[in-house]
Amino acid sequence: MSQWPQQQQYQPGPTPQYAPQYAPTQYAPPPEPFYNDTKSPYENDRFKPKKRINDPIFLILFVLQFLGFVAVSGIAISQWVKSGGLGGGLGKTHTGTSVSLNQSTVYLLLLVTAAALLLSTIYLLLVRAFTKTIMHITLILNILMNIAICVYYWLTKYYSGAIIFTVIALFSVLSYYGFRSRIPLASLLLQVVIDVSKHHKSVYVVAFSALILQALLAVWYTFASIATYAKWTPGNPSCETSGCSSGKVAGLIFFLTFSFLWTSQVIGNVALATLAGGPYGCWYYFGPRGEGDMPKRPTLSALGRASTLSLGSIAFGSLIVTVLEMLKMVLHAVQSSANADGHPVEACLACCASCFVGIIESLVQYFNRYAYIEIALYGKPYISAAKDTWNLLVDRGVSAVVNDSLVGMTLTWGAYGVGLLSSLFAYLYLRLTAPSYNADGNYTAPVILFAFLIGLQCSLTLSSAIEAGVSTIFVGLGEDPQVLAIRAPALFGLIAQTYPDVVRGVV
């Protein structure tokens, strides 16, 4: 429970010294009682949640699947090491087994991981330096990419995909003019978050720690996948029993990919909750320096809550996104199979279903981000946080602000770009080195897929540091907008001018 006396009126701290006048105030300010309606930062157990384990069932499931990942990868990698990795090396070499993926693929995906780390860092630095320009470029590239895919499908007579991407391309062209008008506000929010992060070095510590964990997990997943192919592919020297089959390989790869995606989601979301409940949340409610009221070591405290008491809730939300991601991958495989077999109707249906699932996945990821912030600030279970997030966005009238934000889209498309460049790097490496196992090109698709997943997850983990700051401002704005009016009046003025419901929702 809050330790603040009920009759005590919280007095906000000074305006941060690093909160510049981002824009002139050009709006009719709300009445004086609006600014006097200040509450304790610890209201409703904010920053001091009850010490209880939330969503323990999903915590147990997450631990069990991770132990399963450890067991499968341990068995496969140990056998793979005993067999000398099935040969192969770095660069152009035709040594090693030609039955399945060999050691040369490990070197390839390790290089992909390093490239993904470098590309992710470069993209984040570019976003910091050229915020508004990057947003314009992102929108334009989005349109050009959709048009290019559409034209390619029509030229290759892949009519099911061509129809879908024609609609997507038209929609992206029409939506550009609406999104373009929102770029100034979105870029302004990014600049505020960057200013805050400059004075809270823990933001980058958390982001790069999560990125390193993500890279280590990607390397682990790489070894496990290659070793699984080596151990259970029929005809392989490592296959010592009659239990080897293509079906077993497919099933184990499916499980390893599921576990990798779920664990990756959890790592990124724990980082998001740590930043929201630590530096960003404390900036919003306390300013850069609390007058003795700010929690001690807020980032460490937030990390402790996110990785223990709230880990089950974070795993719950991450599981939903992982299931949708896996379903989308299955539909993509069905679409490719139907198209290869000459069944355009089935391919079109699979493509439509995949797009529909992708839309749902994006909406769930978008919504979950705000639910995790509620979890970080108050220590709520996932269902309770989701309900309160929905009520907050609807009742307080900031849903328009959230829906018009371009920050998430900019960083997400950057992550897809990193993933595509990583997969392109893997493709070029395969073409130039021509490993023995890929003489007929059968393993090009899975290697490119592995590379794309590694690049995507690495970039999403790093960019989550910036998204966490913008999203925390939105949540704080919905609950206590008067705090932002005191903390950064010019920023609040610009938001209130564009979205007056921010003020009316409270007053």
- 177-204 pLDDT per residue, tens: 767 777 777 777 777 787 777 777 788 7
Write down the pLDDT at residue 31.
Answer: 54
Query: Which is it for the CA torsion 123, 124, 129, 133, positive or negative?
Result: positive
Q: Give the residue among 313, 417, 399, 396 at the shortest CA–CA distance from 363.
A: 399
Place of tokens 């007095």: 11
Write down the pLDDT at residue 203.
Answer: 85
Q: Give the residue among 115, 95, 104, 116 at the shortest CA–CA distance from 430.
A: 104
Write down the pLDDT at residue 177.
Answer: 73
Write down the pLDDT at residue 64.
Answer: 96
Residue 81, classed as helix, strand or coil, is: helix
Integer Cα distance of 345 and 268 in angstroms: 38
**What are the angstrom distances between the C-alpha of 330 and each of 189, 258, 322, 333, 336?**
37, 12, 12, 5, 10
Is residue 495 a contact partner of residue 199, using CB atoms and an 8 Å limit? no
Q: At what angle do helices 56-82 and 246-275 cross, to 10 degrees?
A: 130
Write down the pLDDT at residue 60.
Answer: 96
Q: What is the 3-state secondary structure (H, E, C) of 126-151?
A: HHHHCHHHHHHHHHHHHHHHHHHHHH
- Asked if residue 14 belongs to a domain, the reply is no
Based on its alpha-carbon atoms, the radius of gyration of the chain, rounded to whole angstroms, reads 25
Could you tell me which residues come within 8 angstroms of residue 408 by beta carbon, excluding any fewer than 6 positions away? 366, 369, 467, 470
Summarised one tens digit per residue, pLDDT across range 18-63 is: 445 555 544 455 555 555 555 666 666 677 777 888 999 999 999 9
Residue 373, classed as helix, strand or coil, is: helix
Could you tell me which residues come within 8 angstroms of residue 278 by beta carbon, excluding any fewer than 6 positions away? 202, 206, 298, 299, 300, 301, 302, 303
- Asked if residue 411 belongs to a domain, the reply is yes
Write down the pLDDT at residue 225.
Answer: 86
Is residue 82 a contact partner of residue 338, using CB atoms and an 8 Å limit? no
CA 260 to chain centre: 14
DSSP annotation string for 292-307 = S-SPSSHHHHHHHHHH
**Overall domain count for the chain:** 1
Integer Cα distance of 6 and 38 in angstroms: 13
Write down the pLDDT at residue 146.
Answer: 77
DSSP annotation string for 263-319 = HHHHHHHHHHHHHIIIIIHHHHHH-SS-SS-SPSSHHHHHHHHHHTTTHHHHHHHHH
Structure tokens at 137: 């470029």
Write down the pLDDT at residue 440.
Answer: 66
- Asked if residue 432 belongs to a domain, the reply is yes
At 215, phi and psi to the nearest 5? -65, -40
Domain extent for 403: 54-504
Q: Give the residue among 432, 73, 451 at the shortest CA–CA distance from 230.
A: 73
Enter the pTM of the model: 0.74
Could you tell me which residues come within 8 angstroms of residue 120 by beta carbon, excluding any fewer than 6 positions away? 211, 415, 418, 455, 458, 459, 461, 462, 463
- Asked if residue 378 belongs to a domain, the reply is yes
Is residue 436 a contact partner of residue 98, using CB atoms and an 8 Å limit? yes
| Residue 109 identity | L
Could you tell me which residues come within 8 angstroms of residue 244 by beta carbon, excluding any fewer than 6 positions away? 231, 232, 233, 234, 236
Structure tokens at 434: 């021509």
Write down how long the chain is.
507
- Asked if residue 31 belongs to a domain, the reply is no
**What are the angstrom distances between the C-alpha of 187 and each of 136, 199, 407, 466?**
10, 19, 8, 12
Integer Cα distance of 109 and 344 in angstroms: 34
- Asked if residue 405 belongs to a domain, the reply is yes
Which residues of the chain fall below pLDDT 50?
1-19, 25-27, 87-91, 94-101, 290-291, 505-507
- Asked if residue 37 belongs to a domain, the reply is no
| Residue 371 identity | A
- Asked if residue 46 belongs to a domain, the reply is no
Write down the pLDDT at residue 159.
Answer: 66
